[in-house]
Amino acid sequence: MAEEPADYPIIDSHIHLYPASEVETLAWYEPSNPLHGQHSLNEYTTATGSPSSFDGFIFLETDRKHDLKSGVKDGTGWTFPLMEVDWLKRIALGTPKAGEGHTAEQKKLCLAIVPWAPVPSGAEAMLERLKSMLRGALEKSGGLDIWSKISRRGQCCKMSSLRD
């Protein structure tokens, strides 16, 4: 007996994706790992069959390599987690690069992003460094629209605080 499509919306509340070009930035990466290689939105939608009731997903960070001390000092230790946010921005805004495994049309599927955060560095250091880096990155890229997916309507940080 064939399964009937769900007549209710489906939201995948916890997925991890990454392009092949960034697997070396994953803290747990080894070529022998069964998760070696690209795990993109195209692979995900193929594997799930993209049911018509699928509304989208909530992305959770994939544990990129980082260094908390240099991150607090000058931001250099957070390069790879911020690279992940930049890749997710391209998914959410529908601006893919060739080979990344997503299309402009798939942007509607990215409902929320839970990025990596340097929590062990303390709230003040984390907030100040992230505000500075996000402000610069968002202004440079014109990606202020992505903030609503990271903060979910400003619940974790008010957009006005990024402008301060």
What does the pLDDT look like over 36-47, one tens digit per residue? 889 999 999 999
**Averaged pLDDT score across all residues of the chain:** 81
CB 42 within 8 A of CB 105: no
Half-sphere exposure of 61 (CA within 13 A, CB side): 21
> What is the structure's pLDDT at 120?
84
Q: Give residue-wise pLDDT tens across range 78-104.
A: 899 989 988 998 999 999 999 999 999
In the block, tokens 């990155």 appear at: 137
What gap in Å lies between CA 162 and CA 159, rounded to an integer? Answer: 5
The pLDDT of residue 128: 72
Number of residues assigned to the chain: 164
Residue with tokens 């309507």: 153
Other CB atoms within a 10 A radius of the CB of residue 101 amount to 21
- Rounded Cα distance between 62 and 152, Å, is 19
What is the DSSP secondary-structure string of 146-159?
GHHHHHTTTTSS-H
- pLDDT class for 158, splitting at 50, 70, 90? very low
Report residue 122: phi and psi, to 5°.
95, 150
pLDDT digits (tens, 9 = 90+) for 75-85: 788 899 989 98
How sure is the predictor about 110, in pLDDT bands with cuts at 50, 70 and 90? very high
Q: What is the pTM of this model?
A: 0.74
Integer CA distances (angstroms), 124 to 1, 87, 104, 133, in order: 57, 26, 36, 14
Give the pLDDT of residue 145: 61
